[in-house]
Structure 1
Amino acid sequence: MKNLFLILCVLVYTFGYSQKKVLQTKFITDNITIDGKIDEEIWKSAPIATDFIMYQPDNGKVIPENKRTEVKVLYDNDAIYIAALLYDNEPTKILREITKRDDFGTSDFFGIFINGYNDGQQNFQFFVSASDGQADCISTESTGEDYSWDAIWKSKAIITDFGWVVEMRIPYAALRFSAEDKQTWGLNFFREIRRDRQKYTWNFIDSKVGSFIQQSGVLEGIKNIKPPTRLFLLPYTSFYLNSNSSQKTTGTLKGGLDIKYGINDAFTLDAMLIPDFGQTKYDDKLLILGPFEQQFNENRSFFTEGTDLFSKGNLLYSRRIGGRPSIYPTTTDKETITDNPSSVNLINALKISGRTKGGLGIGILNAVTEKTYATIENTITKETRREEVAPLTNYNVLVLDQRFRKNSSISFINTNVTRNAQFRDANVSALVWDLNTKKNTYNLSGNFKYSYINALEEKKGFSTTMNFAETSGKYRYSFGADLVTKKYDNNDLGINFETNYYSIYGNANYRILNPTKHFNTFRVNYNLYTQFHKETGKTQGNNININVNIDTKKNHYVGFGTNISPIKSYDFYEARDNNRYVILPERYNAWLYISTNYNNKFAFDFNPYYAIFNETNRNTFEISLGPRYRFNNKFSLNYNFYFERKNNDKGFVDRIADLNTTNPQIIIFANRKVATYSNTLSGKYSISSRMNFDLAIRQYWSYAENKNYLSLEQNGKLVDYTNYATNKNSNFYSWNFDLSYSWWFAPGSQISVLYRNNGANFEREINKKFGEKFTNLLNNEALNHTFSISVKYFIDYNTIKNKF
């Protein structure tokens, strides 16, 4: 009888949690004031969503009564309204750090997830923190959460004697849904109790299943509403004051307009006229010693907001648009370059994106950059000439992404770069698939990409990947393979470092799904990767990795692991010659990561790393240390120190002619010591969630000191070379300082003020006196000072229409 009772309980538990909860909503004609008081009479008769269930860490545990959550939803012809009562038996302990938009900080928060098509594919997520801040994002299973997307909506959160309360108004213009008379939306509510690091959802999210959006509940009762006209204008004006010690102070006034227009209920047009990126975050530039360029983060909002479709296939590296000129100017011995622009001006850009009710996503991105010239001076006659280094260029991306069965998709992507005159054009197409079983237990993913370069000599190549994975349960695994041909090239609008190889890889991992006596979460991974040169079959890379990641009961995060390259590999890139390679020795390294609970006022991150090579006295040591302190709910500072030391590192430095043999050139390497120091400080002072001061400082210094020179033999080995006396040391240091103020003075409207000074210098001589180098940099004529003010004002067509 006892066993029968237990079985019955399990069946009830399983059946209850596997069903989608349904919440009914009501139409209203009364006005609701978003003040957090929830005192309008209509709220009393609204159905209640309750009985929240823990998502993390103890998946499936019912929320305790003293922290119960009750949510109601109402709607009218323009918006939906949400009221949430979040009970807490210790309201004075509710964490509520004040932060800027889309930054949760150390705070409790409540969220609503809406899928207007109820297709399990895409959520529009809106969060309100206990400090009355807002965050919003678009979320998909394939790309995760995109917080660069911003909508215009209202909310208010207040602390009460029983917990806290949230009231929200989300206009239909912030959502996507069909024009049907009767609406059925996917719906879920989310709550995090920050001090306990506990996350709850209204509809149960089973962590054993490798999906999130498909496990939403349902909202019913919305009838006879129509998608509104989505026309938003964002005019702006900016003023910049620039100066440095080598030139006079100059002022620049700019103005422009961004447009967002809903073509229909599914598709949106974003257009940027006369772009202005003067206040975007600075780039963290590094000393690059290897054969590949540095990849920078995209900080321009137009290219980060709502771009989940354009990330399909990983073919778009948007920093190519408006990046460095494609050609370096040619000069004679009697000429010098006096002006070579570091970037190309963007004339305009637009994108169209959206998804039909049938699951077809369409994305079109187009941008045009202007013709750009370098200025070259004759050192004898002092005459100048201009040389075209970047032609008028059109960049285009097309994405067709068909979703089906709520958890799978097949996509076609095409990127095209068309340049004027004699410059090269490029075209890349890809087919990408992401297939999941009905219960989200297994996944088959992959792609096939084809590139075509139209230049003086045509260039065609392809790349393909296939991966299979088990995606549910405690034990999971995956395995796959890659193949990339020698002439595959997507670098005109994408970024890719290695070609001409094939690889195989696999992963096996174990995780706990519910907390144990000692851990909230625990996961161990085993990874294996091997890469082969396609033409010779030589091993280009090999790696065995074992790592463990833990969240303790006190919410401290600990990770450690080891990487082993047990056999020699052949590097076909470092020599900067298609037919040459250098032999890399076996390598063994280990790392540790500790991150203490950010809920505490003082917390720190600690990350040491050590690698040893099967080569005399060759090793690498790294350490990163990041203390942080939250003085109060308004003010906090985060500091990070990073140091890296490479001893007896081997790397390319030059290529010279060999006059004594038939070999046309000698490839010179250096045996070098490489050291890197980096100090960063970030801070914020938030007057409110809509008015913030932010500080960002970065000091960086890295040098490579050559001890002796080596020549690369045809067999890939390095031997001493004494006939080279050129100084090829590298010494790069930089400084960045940003102090900004932002005020969201109206919905979607912002005033931002920025003071910035920055400078950088590269030298061959190495001076290891840190204080002297730092002082010289700050006194350098290249140190730039910028003061800027930008005002953006959000105009909603619907608001204007309603007023008139």
Structure 2
Amino acid sequence: MRKLLLIITLLFSLLGYSQKKILQTKFITENITIDGKLDENVWKSVPVAKDFIMFEPDNGKPIAENKKTEIKVLYDNDAIYVAALMYDNEPNKILKEISQRDNFGASDIFGVFVNGYNDGQQDFRFIVSASDGQADCIGTDTNGEDYSWDAVWKSKAVITDFGWVVEMRIPYAALRFSGEKKQTWGLNFFREIKRDKQKYSWNFIDSKIGTFTQQTGVLEGIENIKTPTRLFLLPYSSFYVNANAQQKTTGTLKGGLDIKYGINDAFTLDAILIPDFGQTKYDDQILNLGPFEQQFNENRPFFTEGTDLFSKGNLLYSRRIGGRPSNYPTIASNEKIIDNPSSINLINALKVSGRTKNGLGIGILNAVTEKTYATIQNNETNEKRKELVEPLTNYNVLVLDQRFRKNSSVSFINTNVTRNGSFRDANVSALVWDLNTKKNTYNLSGNFKYSIINDTEDKKGTFTSLNFGETSGKYRYSLGTEIVSKNFDSNDLGINFETNYYAIYGNTNYRILNPTKYFNTFIANFNMYTQFQKETGKIQGNNINVNINSNNKQNHYFGLGINANPIESYDYYESRTENRPLIFPKRMGGWFYFSSNYNNKFAIDFNPSFAILSEPGRNSYGFLLGPRYRFNDKFALNYSFNFFRQNNNKGYIDSINDDLNSATPNTIIFANRNVITYSNTLTGKYSINSKMTFNLSLRQYWSFAENKNFLSLEQNGRLKDYTNFTENRNSSFYSWNADLSYSWWFAPGSEVSILYRNNAANFQREIDKDFGRNVTTLLTNDQLKHVFSISIRYFIDYNAVKNKF
């Protein structure tokens, strides 16, 4: 009888979890002070959201009574207000590491997830830590959480004798919703108890279903709100001091303005006038020996904030805007290049984005870069001339994204690059679909892309992909294919390396949905991928991969994997010559990683890997070792050492045209070489409080390729000894970057930032294997650059100014 009652109780509990919870809110006219005290009487008259349910690790388990969580929501014409009480029977054990914005470290957190359209597609997430820190992001099931998006809102967290309390004010300007008189929003609340590594939500998130944003509750009661004009100005001023041994110290004063304007409740205009990206994070440059360019992360705030719409179709690589010139200067035999800019100045940029009440998302991004010249000098007369390497250029992106049935979408994307004059123009369009069954058990996704290049020779190309998969339950799988034509080219505003192929791939995996005796999480994957050269049908790539990722009851993470290229393949890119493939040998490799619980003061990451190829003596191995130590809630240091070695690596060196009447090189020269890479990084932070933080970031990198002998590429794709090449083509690249910064958020949305940076880089053919001398030389040579900068950015709300005057 007791078992029967227990089963009935569980069934009713699960039935309740599967239904959307509803929370009623209430309109207020009195002021609420965001101080974490909750002493306003109006808080006592509003319904409570409670009965949280575990998301991870024991999915579906109700929260313990001594950890219960209670939430209330109020609203007025300007904002919604949230009060959260997080009970904890051991408040002295609440983790509360202080970190900079959007980075929590070891701290309990509480979050409010709002979807103003209640369409299950996108959340605006506002998160507060027990140390009174803030984070905000845009969350989607497709792209995860985008913390580059920043809003201006208020919060206060206070540790109490029964747990901790959060009070929040989220203005409508930070949200997107329709203009309906009666609002119905998707809503969820999230709590993580860090010391237990347990995550809870108000509305149950069933891990058997491969979606997060579609399992929210509902907020009702917001009616007839009179939202204010959304106009925000962010003026800034920056001062830079630059110095190095080769030139005198110079000072530069800059100023500019960012504008954010709410066209209506759903659409926002963002614009930058006289942009300044001088304090963005440095790029982690490497010794790039491959046929493709190195891809860098985007660190400029304008191009990272709220760009979910613009990532549709993977056609935008925003580093193209203001990147290297698209043309290289032509010089005579008696000339030399004395100045060729590595980047192009951005004149201005704007973006408009939002979504209608019917689920149509519209995004427009436009940017203009200035004319850029290289300086060339005549070796005989010393006369200098200018050559245009990048004309005035307009970059434009248009996105139309229609959502329907709360879990599916179809998108149209167009990117266009127009260069003034007779320079190359480019246009790429794409149709992208992401379709899910009503219960989110199966997914059909894919795209069709079409590129047009207008140059000396016009080219048109296509890229098509289709993927089907089961997305729920313990066992899941997916199958897919893609076809790319020879002339597909999205590289003027996107990034795409390989073309002229078709591929088939598949995946199957198993996961536990609830903890077992030994594991909190456990996922095993089996992947297969095969790529064929489109014209010849030869195998261009093949891989089989098996991997396991898990964390145990002590919340240590570990995983391992084995990957293999079981047959030889044809590499059509390494030779840098059309229709001259290199046969790549069979390969077997593996890796392992261990990451101890970051809640502990001392934690460590360890990740060794190896690979063995089917050529005598050709192999690779390496490891990453990363200890970290948290001295207290304010001070922490993380160190990482990375070593990687490739023995008897085969790589392109040069091409020789023996026949002067032929445009195709006759002899393609490769090197048999050892490639060794070392890198050391150190990051640290000291947080005075949740608004003031000192940050340290150091990176030392050294990689060299030492050639042992030279080889020539035969027509059949094999390599043979080549003794007629005697040039020194060794490569050694080393770099140093150091940033020490101070950040103070002195008012909502307003920041003072002070940065000292020094950096240097050097490439040479001679290899000095004295590690210490290499580092010392780099830090003492004439290439070392020093930059000191102060930047002040102030947030102005038009409504606040209007009310004052």
Query: TM-score with structure 1 length normalisation?
Result: 0.99
Matches within 5 A, 1:635-650: 635-650=635-650
Moved more, 210-219 or 231-240: 210-219
In structure 2, what is the Cα distance between the partners aligned to 1:53 and 1:476? 25
Aligned partner of 1:551 in structure 2 is: 551
Q: Which amino acid aligns with 2:627?
A: P
For the Cα contact (< 8 Å) 1:177–1:227, is it kept in 2?
Answer: no
Structure 2 residue 361 is the aligned partner of structure 1 residue 361 = yes
Counterpart secondary structure, 2:258: strand
Aligned partner of 2:102 in structure 1 is: 102
Aligned partner of 1:779 in structure 2 is: 780
Q: CA deviation at 1:5?
A: 3.9
Aligned partner of 1:742 in structure 2 is: 743
Aligned partner of 2:283 in structure 1 is: 283
Matches within 5 A, 1:366-377: 366-377=366-377
Q: CA deviation at 1:76?
A: 1.6
In structure 2, what is the Cα distance between the partners aligned to 1:735 and 1:153? 38
Counterpart secondary structure, 2:688: strand
Q: CA deviation at 1:661?
A: 12
For the Cα contact (< 8 Å) 1:179–1:226, is it kept in 2?
Answer: no
In structure 1, what is the Cα distance between the partners aligned to 2:434 and 2:19? 26
Aligned partner of 1:441 in structure 2 is: 441
Moved more, 159-168 or 221-230: 221-230
Matches within 5 A, 1:61-80: 61-80=61-80
Q: CA deviation at 1:139?
A: 1.3
Matches within 5 A, 1:306-321: 306-321=306-321
Q: C-alpha deviations, 1:548-604, integer Å up to 9, x for none?
A: 001100000001010011100000000001110110110000000110000000001
Structure 2 residue 219 is the aligned partner of structure 1 residue 230 = no
Q: CA deviation at 1:682?
A: 0.4
Q: Which amino acid aligns with 2:82?
A: I
Q: CA deviation at 1:3?
A: 6.8
Q: CA deviation at 1:24?
A: 1.2
Aligned partner of 2:467 in structure 1 is: 467
Aligned partner of 1:174 in structure 2 is: 174
Q: Which amino acid aligns with 2:775?
A: F
Q: CA deviation at 1:261?
A: 0.4
Aligned partner of 1:489 in structure 2 is: 489
In structure 2, what is the Cα distance between the partners aligned to 1:660 and 1:242? 48
Matches within 5 A, 1:229-248: 229-248=229-248
For the Cα contact (< 8 Å) 1:645–1:674, is it kept in 2?
Answer: yes
In structure 1, what is the Cα distance between the partners aligned to 2:333 and 2:626? 49
In structure 2, what is the Cα distance between the partners aligned to 1:116 and 1:585? 54
Structure 2 residue 681 is the aligned partner of structure 1 residue 680 = yes
Moved more, 172-181 or 184-193: 172-181
Structure 2 residue 352 is the aligned partner of structure 1 residue 352 = yes
In structure 1, what is the Cα distance between the partners aligned to 2:26 and 2:52? 22
Aligned partner of 1:501 in structure 2 is: 501
In structure 1, what is the Cα distance between the partners aligned to 2:570 and 2:466? 24
In structure 2, what is the Cα distance between the partners aligned to 1:274 and 1:660? 50
Matches within 5 A, 1:399-410: 399-410=399-410
Aligned partner of 1:300 in structure 2 is: 300
Structure 2 residue 513 is the aligned partner of structure 1 residue 513 = yes
Q: Which amino acid aligns with 1:288?
A: N
Matches within 5 A, 1:600-611: 600-611=600-611
In structure 1, what is the Cα distance between the partners aligned to 2:789 and 2:403? 44
Q: Which amino acid aligns with 1:467?
A: N
Matches within 5 A, 1:579-590: 579-590=579-590
Q: CA deviation at 1:122?
A: 1.5
Structure 2 residue 671 is the aligned partner of structure 1 residue 670 = yes
Q: CA deviation at 1:137?
A: 1.0
Q: C-alpha deviations, 1:757-793, integer Å up to 9, x for none?
A: 0010100111111111111111121111000000000
Counterpart secondary structure, 2:319: helix
Q: CA deviation at 1:227?
A: 2.9
Aligned partner of 1:795 in structure 2 is: 796
Q: CA deviation at 1:698?
A: 0.4
Q: Which amino acid aligns with 2:205?
A: I
Counterpart secondary structure, 2:17: helix
Counterpart secondary structure, 2:11: helix
Q: Which amino acid aligns with 2:786?
A: H
Q: Which amino acid aligns with 1:430?
A: A
In structure 2, what is the Cα distance between the partners aligned to 1:59 and 1:7? 17
Counterpart secondary structure, 2:293: coil
In structure 1, what is the Cα distance between the partners aligned to 2:260 and 2:225? 22
For the Cα contact (< 8 Å) 2:77–2:227, is it kept in 1?
Answer: no
Q: Which amino acid aligns with 1:731?
A: S
For the Cα contact (< 8 Å) 1:26–1:221, is it kept in 2?
Answer: yes
Q: C-alpha deviations, 1:639-661, integer Å up to 9, x for none?
A: 00001100000000000133699
Aligned partner of 2:127 in structure 1 is: 127
For the Cα contact (< 8 Å) 2:655–2:665, is it kept in 1?
Answer: no
Distance 1:180 1:660, change over 3 A: closer
In structure 2, what is the Cα distance between the partners aligned to 1:187 and 1:337? 59
In structure 1, what is the Cα distance between the partners aligned to 2:183 and 2:772? 66
Q: CA deviation at 1:19?
A: 1.1
Aligned partner of 1:385 in structure 2 is: 385
Aligned partner of 1:689 in structure 2 is: 690
For the Cα contact (< 8 Å) 2:626–2:638, is it kept in 1?
Answer: yes
For the Cα contact (< 8 Å) 1:341–1:374, is it kept in 2?
Answer: yes
In structure 2, what is the Cα distance between the partners aligned to 1:278 and 1:402? 37
Aligned partner of 2:208 in structure 1 is: 208
For the Cα contact (< 8 Å) 1:179–1:227, is it kept in 2?
Answer: no
For the Cα contact (< 8 Å) 1:654–1:667, is it kept in 2?
Answer: yes
Moved more, 109-118 or 222-231: 222-231
Q: C-alpha deviations, 1:481-513, integer Å up to 9, x for none?
A: 010010000000000010000000000000000
Aligned partner of 1:56 in structure 2 is: 56
Q: Which amino acid aligns with 2:668?
A: I
Aligned partner of 1:730 in structure 2 is: 731
Aligned partner of 2:753 in structure 1 is: 752
Q: C-alpha deviations, 1:352-388, integer Å up to 9, x for none?
A: 0000110000000000000100101111211111111
Moved more, 775-784 or 106-115: 775-784
Counterpart secondary structure, 1:215: coil
Q: C-alpha deviations, 1:203-227, integer Å up to 9, x for none?
A: 1111111111111111112222033
In structure 1, what is the Cα distance between the partners aligned to 2:687 and 2:597? 22
In structure 1, what is the Cα distance between the partners aligned to 2:62 and 2:4? 23
Q: Which amino acid aligns with 1:746?
A: A
In structure 2, what is the Cα distance between the partners aligned to 1:706 and 1:393? 42
Moved more, 315-324 or 70-79: 70-79
Q: CA deviation at 1:11?
A: 3.0
Aligned partner of 2:325 in structure 1 is: 325
In structure 2, what is the Cα distance between the partners aligned to 1:661 and 1:714? 19
Aligned partner of 1:30 in structure 2 is: 30
Q: CA deviation at 1:14?
A: 2.6
In structure 1, what is the Cα distance between the partners aligned to 2:579 and 2:29? 75
Aligned partner of 1:626 in structure 2 is: 626
Counterpart secondary structure, 2:214: helix
Aligned partner of 2:524 in structure 1 is: 524
Seq. identity, %: 74
Q: C-alpha deviations, 1:152-187, integer Å up to 9, x for none?
A: 111110111111111111111111222222221111
In structure 2, what is the Cα distance between the partners aligned to 1:801 and 1:346? 32
Distance 1:633 1:3, change over 3 A: closer
Q: C-alpha deviations, 1:689-715, integer Å up to 9, x for none?
A: 111100000000000000000000000
Counterpart secondary structure, 1:688: coil
Residue segments in structure 2 that go unaligned for 5+ positions in a row: none
Counterpart secondary structure, 1:179: coil
Query: TM-score with structure 2 length normalisation?
Result: 0.99
Q: Which amino acid aligns with 1:800?
A: V
Q: Which amino acid aligns with 1:271?
A: A
Counterpart secondary structure, 2:281: coil
Aligned partner of 1:561 in structure 2 is: 561
Q: CA deviation at 1:144?
A: 1.7
Q: CA deviation at 1:468?
A: 0.2
Q: Which amino acid aligns with 1:440?
A: N
